[in-house]
Structure 1
Amino acid sequence: MGSTAREPEPRGERRFHQLSSLQLESVRRRTFASWPSASVDPDALARDGFFYMGEKDHVRCVFCGCHIGAWTPNDHVRTDHARYSPECSFVAGSLTGNIPRTPRTHDDDAGRLYAFLDDYHDSRLAHGRPRTRGRYQSDAVPLPSAEQPALSEFARKDTRRRTFSGWPKGAGAGADPLAEAGFIYTGVGDWVQCFQCSGGIHTWRHGDDPWADHAHFYPYCPFVREHLEQRGGESGVGEDLAPSPPPASSVPSRPEELSPEETELLLHHPIAQRLLSKGFDHRLVKEALKQKVETSGLMCSSLNEALEIIFDYEDSINESLSEKST
């Protein structure tokens, strides 16, 4: 296969709240912490839309789903990407929600926008909460054990276990322990989410304890709390699963509401530029995209999604005006 082992990299932030965060190059890059091949640069792979699947040297494109592996030293990432998936929107240069990593000293408007979106996502992830069925579930505030599960259809271990049919063979944690600890498999890489709190974890390494990581990243998940209470009465239970505060973060906290300057910056995104070129009102585009970013922490993934958001936002304004006039 033409590859040799690499030294493992720091995993960084392993939490996720939604799969769409793979739109960010920085998030894709974190999935390569256990990348085993020296044949191709993981920076180049993440830059070209790929994330690591957690098995051998297999990667997948976020934008087209193209799956490539068995890399050799003579391979070129973009050339192979275009060969195997010539219709990929990212390869073709079409509009996508990709957020490239940019130098923090970037002085053009697009560079400042991408740096802001990257920082905004990191802050939301470090200090925010997964959204579950239209409401917030906090990983920083105790919740009652009777809280409705985010994914109640997976409350039983056997239903969770069935989601792992395609679990990567080389993943660092086993399907049974993950299902036992409340996780379901998302079908993407080695990304799993808790049925109760919706909190997600990825980039597992051999030796990781799913219960310990679940308790570490989402210590107030009711499912984790119930497990800890049950284990507390058993002999031989150590402190490895004791509830602890969410992991300390070097990412500064910031308001979720965008400032006027940040909102104006959204108009420099290529999707926003296309909407403006089609004649959409400047303020309508700006406010609709502001609402999208504040709600999800991310920009639109495509022009079609942006159009839906614009029309929905416009409809909500018209409905509000109609209610006030009656």
Structure 2
Amino acid sequence: MGSTEREPEPRGERRFHQLSSLQLESVRRRTFASWPSASADPDALARDGFFYTGEKDHVRCVFCGRHIGAWAPDDHVRTDHARYSPECSFVAGHLTGNIPRAPRTHDDDAGRLYAFLDDYHASRLAHRPPAHEGEISVRRRAPPSDEQPAFPEFARRDTRRRTFSAWPGGAGARADSLAEAGFIYTGVGDWVQCFQCGGGIHTWRHGDDPWADHAYFYPYCPFVREHMEQEGGASGVEEVLAPSPPPAPSVPSRPEELSPEEAELLLHHPIAQRLLCKGFDHRIVKEALKQKVEKSGLMCSSLNEALEIVFDYEDSINESFSEKSTKPQ
């Protein structure tokens, strides 16, 4: 690690609802708010697929999983990435779900697409609860509620605590405190999710209160509300919100259904372009990807995932046509 150090940055948005949001460069960049080293540029690291793990100056690539650390001032991010992980799909230029940060002054279709996907993800994160599918070790069977937690097998504190066996030693919050506050370790950086509501938080700093942050970012969580009411009576939740960190920059709400123009933009993603080159009908590709984005807030992470989505969409159309053709007139 280089001898020079960086000053911490404002953290901004710390919530996440699914680990796959790391395919957005803007999300990866926010993980570097506590990046300690001036030897490697966090902008270059995030641009090359890395996020900060919370341990020393160690980073990890979203696309190949390679960990790199001990950065020196003369290191070059892309050169080192290629040296240590030449098989990385991102480094090799293969198709990935990467969403680069697009300048707001973009005037090309790809730039408009990436800016839209960035804004769409941010709006969903700010204005809707976590999705109904988890990513830790099981798939959620139903929307979270008082009776049905997002990850019911982690309802006990001791089972949650065991998920923190690989918790980074340099992370700002203690594993015991996080488990007590209802969180499970995802195994990625310092990203944790609540067993009850499924909400996630990352980029922890020393002095953060897991209970306060949990209540601040996910005040509807039944587990949080029950705890706060036990601790402070009826006003417990309101009291814990008072010392919480300042809110992330406000994100305007927008309709979750894509407009025709936004759906058309999806066809400019490299994965969509490959599907069109393979001969798939552009209307089917557009509608399949539109449904994917509206459901998860994200584009496909690979060509194989896109193919599955398109085939599923084609099957649903064929089934619907068969039902109509066999229905008595």
TM-score (ref. length: structure 2): 0.92
Q: Are residues 242 and 154 of structure 1, via their aligned partners in 2, closer, same or farther at CA, if it must alter by over 3 Å?
A: farther
Question: How far apart in 2 are the matches of 1:247 and 1:77?
Answer: 32
Name 2:137's counterpart in structure 1. Answer: none
In structure 1, how many angstroms separate the alpha carbons of the residues matched to 2:209 and 2:223?
A: 16
What are the equivalent positions in structure 2 for 1:133-144 lying under 5 Å apart?
Answer: 133=140, 136=143
**Aligned ranges for residues 222-261 of structure 1 at < 5 Å?**
222-233=222-233, 239-240=239-240, 247=247, 249-261=249-261
Structure 1: stretches of 5+ with no match in the other structure = 138-142
> Secondary structure at 1:184's aligned position in 2?
strand
Q: Deviations over 1:48-92 (max 9, x none)?
A: 000000010000000000100000001000000000000100000
Point out where structure 2 has 5 or more consecutive residues left out of the alignment. 133-139
Partner of 1:93: 93
Equivalences for 1:76-225 in 2 at 5 Å? 76-132=76-132, 133=140, 136=143, 146-225=146-225
TM-score by length of 1: 0.93
In the TM superposition, residue 129 of structure 1 has moved relative to its aligned partner by 1.6
Counterpart residue number, 2:271: 271
Aligned-residue CA RMSD in angstroms?
2.0
Identify the residue that residue 140 of structure 1 maps to in structure 2: none
Using the alignment, how far apart are the partners of 1:125 and 1:196 within structure 2? Answer: 18
2 CA distance for matches of 1:134 and 1:4? 48
Q: How many residues align?
A: 317
Opposite residue 316 of structure 2, the aligned amino acid is S
In structure 2, relative to structure 1, the CA distance for the partners of 1:171 and 1:290 (3 Å cut) is same
Q: Which amino acid aligns with 1:207?
A: G
Structure 1 residue 178 displacement after superposition: 0.2
Q: Which residue of 2 aligns with 1:286?
A: 286
Deviation at residue 242 of structure 1 after TM alignment: 6.7
Residues 135/113 of structure 1: CA separation in 2 closer, same or farther (3 Å cut)? farther
Distance change >3 Å, CA 324–CA 92, structure 1 → 2: same
C-alpha separation between the residues in 1 aligned to 2:259 and 2:124?
15
| Deviation sequence 1:7-60 (CA, Å, 0-9, x none) | 110101000000000000000000000000000100000000000000100000
Deviation beyond 4 Å, 4+ runs, structure 1: 134-137, 241-244, 246-249
Identity of aligned residues (%): 87
SS in 1 for 2:121: helix
Question: What is the alpha-carbon distance in structure 1 between the residues aligned to residue 67 and residue 81 of structure 2?
Answer: 9
Aligned amino acid, residue 166 of structure 2 = G
What is the DSSP-based 3-state SS (H/G/I as helix, E as strand, rest coil) of the residue aligned with 1:104? coil
Which amino acid in the other structure matches residue 219 of structure 2? P
C-alpha contact (below 8 Å) 1:211/1:241 kept by paired residues: no
